[in-house]
Every structure is written in C-alpha cells, then in structure tokens.
Amino acid sequence: MERKKINPNNTLNETYFENMYLQHEDPWDFEKSAYEKAKYGATIAAIPKRTYDNALEIGCSIGVLTSMLAPHCRQLIAMDLSSTALEKAVKRLSAQPQVKFIKGGIPKDFPVGRFDLIVMSEVGYYLSKMDLQRTKEQITKTLEPGGILILVHWTHFVADYPLTGDEVHDLFMDSGLYHLQASRTNDYRMDVYQNH
C-alpha cells in the first residue's frame, strides 16, 4: 500500500504547533521518553568540541535538549515557532544566562549572525522541500569555517509531515559541508557536518 503525505508542499504553521502544545504540555514526551533520552545522549556525544562560542538550536520546543546543549555554549540562540513551548523553555533555562530565546520559524525568521554550532533536531520534516532548501542555504551561509551542523530526525513515516527524516538528511548530502559522521538507529538518523 502506497503511503501518501497529507500536505507535502506546505510547511506546517504556528497554529499546528500551538494546538499541539495547548492540548498537551509535552506533546512528543521530550521529558520522559526513553527514545528522547537516548537520542539526546547520542546528540550531545556527537558534538566534536566541548565548548562553542555562538550556537543555534532550531526548534527548541520546551527546552529539554537546549538544557543539555547550554553547558557547551558560551552563547546559544534557541528558537521555536510556538509561544507556548518557548514559555516553558524560558522557565527551564532561567539559570542559564547565555541562552537567548527567539520566537520564529525557519526559513523566514532565521537568525542573523555566524554560528560555530547549529543543531536541528526533529524539525526539518515540518518544512516543505522548498523551505528546507532555503534553510539549508541559510545554514551553510551562517556556519563559521570549522563550524558544526548536527541533524537528528525520526525516520518513520508521518502523514501530517511534508517530509520524512530521510528526505531531510538526503537533501543536506549535497550541502558542500564535510560529512563527519553518520549514524542510524531503528527510529532516527543523525548526520554531523563540518564547514570547510
């Protein structure tokens, strides 16, 4: 049986995410899921250096991964499209003054600046292919020489999402960045890149 995407040409909007967070405080079980805990551990372990000057986390949600990234960052911009999620993230990281939160979505609200670490975990498949392509271009333009990009995405099919995790990662294979590491579990895929 062929699986069909419900809306493959449109990026999921703010209303989609606000509704998710209004229905449940932690709609993807970021705080308690064994899957999330293992994935977060692998993501942090994949960071090549221990400290980064100016990092960006795209799609920080309620700040669970953000709280693990923050100790490795002198400055960290964490962004999300959902105001409800950001409120929780701000509370969670109130003791981490190096973290700045921005409300916005990619590619439209991509932050101005240069970054030596960019993490995009479980976000890319919410974008249309065209918006993901624009985001890839923004990432490659803002990633410092020697800077690291970490992509981590669920690989199972979800009809609501415009893309699959594999489609997201495959699109970055021709980014011009050096591919440092690739790993895959039964549930997610991680790729680590470095800018030349």
33 to 29, 36, 39, 96, 170: CA distances (angstroms): 5, 5, 10, 24, 27
- How high is the mean pLDDT of the chain? 94
Which amino acid would we find at residue 77? I
Instruction: Report d(CA 107, CA 41) in Å as an integer.
Output: 27
pLDDT at 22: 82
pLDDT tens, residue by residue, 39-73: 999 999 999 998 999 999 999 999 999 999 999 99
pLDDT at 6: 77
Strand partners of residue 78: 57, 101
Structural domain spans, the chain: 14-194
Nearest to 75 by CA among 39, 104, 111: 111
pLDDT confidence of 78, banded at 50, 70, 90?
very high
Strand partners of residue 179: 193
Structure tokens at 161: 């999402």
Structure tokens at 137: 């271009």
Q: In which residue are the tokens 């470095």 written?
A: 194
Class level of CATH domain 14-194: alpha beta
